[in-house]
Structure 1
Amino acid sequence: MGRIVLNGVRKAFGEVEVIPPLDLTIEDGEFVVFVGPSGCGKSTLLRLIAGLEDVTGGEISIDGRDATELPPAKRGLAMVFQSYALYPHMSVRKNIAFPMRMAGLPEGEQKRRIEAAAKALNLTDYLDRRPGQLSGGQRQRVAIGRAIVREPSAFLFDEPLSNLDAALRVGMRMEIGELHKSLATTMVYVTHDQVEAMTMADKIVVLRAGRIEQVGTPLELYRTPHNLFVAGFIGSPTMNLIGGAEAERHGARTIGVRPEHIASGSPDGAPWVGTVGLSEHLGSDTFLYVHGTGLAETVTVRADGEVPLRHGDRVGLTPNPDRIHRFDAEGSRL
């Protein structure tokens, strides 16, 4: 079991409240991602769940028991940090075994858990190496293995991939996702990278200034953002946000259109017309950054990879009317 319930949890450092009272339920077996800009409180919230920070108010329940005042070691959780924090003089085997040795587990049980974790993480052939002989991705897997052998009710990940290069990040995203499926254990994952959130999560919690802006599946957040903040944060490239007369024509203070929901073509008769600035050709897709439309400084369009448009070309833009998001003066979804 790995159900985590936050009830009115808040955190203040002196007079500064960084987490206003919030409620959140993480169901057993879910992969939940906390995402938001730097300083939004996502790591602080994770540390409150882990017991590494004391709550200022509210209650934290883990598996139906009040864990608010429990020390980290008594919460049944395992945390994987941004830094690998491996012992350089120890082998991979001993690094993974360390928490079990501290807990006094029998040698036979330690061996069983090490072998199972190594198999799950493709580390079997590296158990006798030291961390300095491993790649960054392998070292991160060792850190995860050290968490797995504790057999926790939930795993907590604090931006574990931020030290890896782009290719390794993609590979590790897949590995952690597969690990979640095989272990069927609750995972709570913190990242500032909304692409990681979209590709890994069962449920995303979008945070801003310590407050929850929206909770939902990746597609729910993508298709029906509750407000302008979520609309602008989720999606890559980000949603085009347009105000003024064009928004008023749609009965809104601001409208939003995702780049893939704008068709590009001849300027003749098109509702929006502009000039192509930068065009990024990525093979299967081309991103066009269009200026001079009178709608926004730049309108981003996701077009076919073979689109012939180049810098300085005039282009007509036609938004899909069924995919226009409307927001009121307070930035809430209409």
Structure 2
Amino acid sequence: MGHIKLNQITKSFGDVEVIPPLDLTIENGEFAVFVGPSGCGKSTLLRLIAGLEDVSSGHIEIDGRDVTDVPPAKRGLAMVFQSYALYPHMSVRKNIAFPLHMAGMDQAEQQRRVERAASVLNLTDYLDRRPGQLSGGQRQRVAIGRAIVREPAAFLFDEPLSNLDAALRHGMRMEIGELHQSLSTTMIYVTHDQVEAMTMADKIVVLRAGVIEQVGSPLDLYREPRNLFVAGFIGSPTMNLIEGDEARKHGAHTIGIRPEHIVPGDPDGAPWSGTVGLSEHLGSDTFLHVHGTGLTESITVRADGEVPLRHGDRVGLTPNAERIHRFDQAGLRIA
């Protein structure tokens, strides 16, 4: 199980309300990602679910049981933090088994759970090593293993990959995704990185100033962002946003077009044109930053990796008309 429901949850620190009344349901077995800029309330919301912060008002239910006033250890949840928090003098085996040892579980069951978690996380060959003998990615796996052995109703991850370099982050994203598939357990994952959110989530919860701006699958948010905030936050590179005469042609205050939905070509006869500024060559893709279009300061275009355009070249831009997003003066999506 692992059905989590938040009913009109609020959180205030003194006179400052950081989470206004909020409703959210996370279904059993879902991989939900809380994403948003720093200070948006995503970690606070996770800590409220975990019981590490007291709610100011409202109710939290786990599998139909009201746990609003239940202490963290009795909520049936397991949390993985940004810090590994491993005991350096203990072996990997003892680190993973530690919560079971503290709970007084018999040795045979401890061993069974530790060996199962080690097998799932490819740590079997490292059980007798100490944390200092492991890489950063392996230490994070040990921390996850310590959560797995508790067999929780749900896993809570608070930016667990922030301390890893880019290559390790990519590898651990894949491992956590595979772990979710193998365990079929509810997971809630907090990150400020929308790429992590898009690649890992079944459900994304976009937060701003403690308010849920949109909830949906990665493709839902990519295809139909509810407002300008979500449009500008989801997608890499971010959506181009254009106001003025060009937006009014489409019956909107603002229009948006993603870099991958603009085709570069001959400037003669193209709807838009400008001058290539910075070209970011990434192998399979090239990101062109085009200036002087008269639309906005810069238009970003995602082009083929071998596009023969360089700094100072004139280029025509043809947007895919079916992929233009329209927003009203309040910043809300126009259907």
Tell me the TM-score normalised to structure 2 length: 0.99
Q: Does 1:329 align with 2:329?
A: yes
Structure 1: distance between partners of 2:138 and 2:17? 38
* Amino acid in the other structure paired with 1:43: S
1:283 Cα deviation (Å)?
Answer: 1.1
Identity among equivalent positions (%) equals 83
* Amino acid in the other structure paired with 1:127: L
1:173 Cα deviation (Å)?
Answer: 0.3
- Tell me the equivalent position of 1:87: 87
Per-residue CA distance 1:172-217 (angstroms, 9 max, x = gap) = 0000000000000000000000000000000000000000000000
Q: Does 1:297 align with 2:264?
A: no
- Tell me the equivalent position of 1:23: 23
Per-residue CA distance 1:62-102 (angstroms, 9 max, x = gap) = 01100000000010000000000000010000000100011
1:278 Cα deviation (Å)?
Answer: 0.3
- Tell me the equivalent position of 1:40: 40
User: Alignment partner of 1:38: what SS?
Assistant: coil
* Amino acid in the other structure paired with 1:259: P
Per-residue CA distance 1:7-54 (angstroms, 9 max, x = gap) = 000000000000000000000000000000000000000000000000
User: Alignment partner of 2:54: what SS?
Assistant: coil
**How many residues are paired up?**
334
Structure 2: distance between partners of 1:220 and 1:109? 43
1:306 Cα deviation (Å)?
Answer: 1.2
User: Alignment partner of 2:315: what SS?
Assistant: strand
Structure 2: distance between partners of 1:289 and 1:310? 10
- Tell me the equivalent position of 2:258: 258
- Segment of structure 1 superposing worse, 279-288 or 136-145: 279-288
* Amino acid in the other structure paired with 1:157: F
Unaligned 5+ residue runs, structure 2?
none
Alignment of 1:183-202 (within 5 A): 183-202=183-202
Per-residue CA distance 1:87-131 (angstroms, 9 max, x = gap) = 001000000010001101110000000000000000000000000
- Tell me the equivalent position of 2:155: 155
Structure 2: distance between partners of 1:66 and 1:249? 52
User: Alignment partner of 2:84: what SS?
Assistant: coil
* Amino acid in the other structure paired with 2:138: Q
Structure 2: distance between partners of 1:3 and 1:118? 26
* Amino acid in the other structure paired with 2:38: S
* Amino acid in the other structure paired with 1:33: V
Alignment of 1:176-325 (within 5 A): 176-325=176-325
- Tell me the equivalent position of 1:62: 62
Structure 1: distance between partners of 2:225 and 2:113? 43
Structure 1: distance between partners of 2:217 and 2:134? 35
Structure 2: distance between partners of 1:197 and 1:24? 17
Structure 1: distance between partners of 2:297 and 2:327? 19
- Tell me the equivalent position of 2:121: 121
Structure 2: distance between partners of 1:25 and 1:305? 41
- Tell me the equivalent position of 2:51: 51
User: Alignment partner of 2:270: what SS?
Assistant: coil
User: Alignment partner of 2:101: what SS?
Assistant: helix
* Amino acid in the other structure paired with 1:237: P
User: Alignment partner of 2:34: what SS?
Assistant: strand
Unaligned 5+ residue runs, structure 1?
none
Structure 2: distance between partners of 1:267 and 1:111? 68
* Amino acid in the other structure paired with 1:193: D
User: Alignment partner of 2:173: what SS?
Assistant: helix
User: Alignment partner of 1:156: what SS?
Assistant: strand
1:279 Cα deviation (Å)?
Answer: 0.5
Alignment of 1:2-13 (within 5 A): 2-13=2-13
